[in-house]
């Protein structure tokens, strides 16, 4: 793949860790039903694979939130592009996120969802880019800690492309730098 600087996480590695996360979540929630709130669009592939490995009953809802636009770094200006369809009041909510970078977007979302009075609110992210964090975010489930590089694949995109790639790779800088 000529656009890849290197493959960071293979499809098999991702699938193995997603299965383990599903088992951890199942153990922690027991028989309690969970509302999985997927952050669109990046979290969709992760949500569908993760849900297959969660034993307690789950419902899905989706929220679109953006602070990137077509940039490679968060602008810090957050906007909801699609809101939840159902109330989360009194429900056990697990946010399913593809990657946590600066944490600014997720902090905004956590505050927004807390105001809706869920019974509990936890976070599951496939990728955690801790070295770029600007705010502290309490993450309950982490797939992988990743370096501060521009990553695409398995839901992550550059200008909406490469989400369907089943592995995560580092995009060569010449493809996104001017």
Tell me the domain boundaries of the chain: 12-148
Q: Please report how many Cα atoms fall inside a 13 Å half-sphere around the Cα of residue 87, on the Cβ side.
A: 5
Parallel, antiparallel, or unpaired: how do β-strands 151-152 and 168-171 relate? antiparallel
Q: Please check the confidence at residue 70 and state whether its pLDDT lies above 60.
A: no
Catalytic residue numbers read 101
Residue 77: predicted pLDDT: 77
CA distances to 1, 96, 132, 147 from 62, rounded to whole Å, are 31, 9, 26, 27
> What's the whole-model pTM score?
0.92
Residue 69 has pLDDT above 80, yes or no: no
Class of domain 12-148: alpha beta
């Amino acid at each position: 793949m000529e656009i890849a600087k290197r493959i960071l996480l293979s499809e098999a590695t991702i699938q193995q860790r997603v299965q383990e996360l599903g088992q951890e979540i199942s153990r922690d929630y027991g028989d309690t039903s969970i509302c999985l709130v997927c952050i669109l669009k990046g979290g969709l592939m992760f949500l569908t694979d993760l849900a297959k490995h969660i034993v307690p009953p789950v419902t899905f809802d989706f929220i679109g939130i953006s602070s990137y636009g077509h940039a490679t770094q968060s602008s810090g200006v957050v906007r909801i592009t699609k809101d939840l369809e159902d109330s989360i009041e009194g429900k056990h909510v697990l946010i399913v996120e593809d990657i946590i970078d600066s944490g600014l977007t997720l902090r905004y979302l956590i505050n927004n969802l807390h105001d809706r009075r869920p019974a509990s609110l936890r976070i599951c992210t496939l990728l955690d880019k801790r070295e770029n964090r600007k705010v502290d975010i309490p993450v309950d489930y982490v797939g992988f800690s990743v370096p501060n590089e521009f990553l695409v694949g398995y839901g992550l995109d550059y200008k909406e492309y490469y989400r369907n790639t089943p592995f995560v790779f580092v995009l060569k800088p010449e493809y996104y730098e001017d």
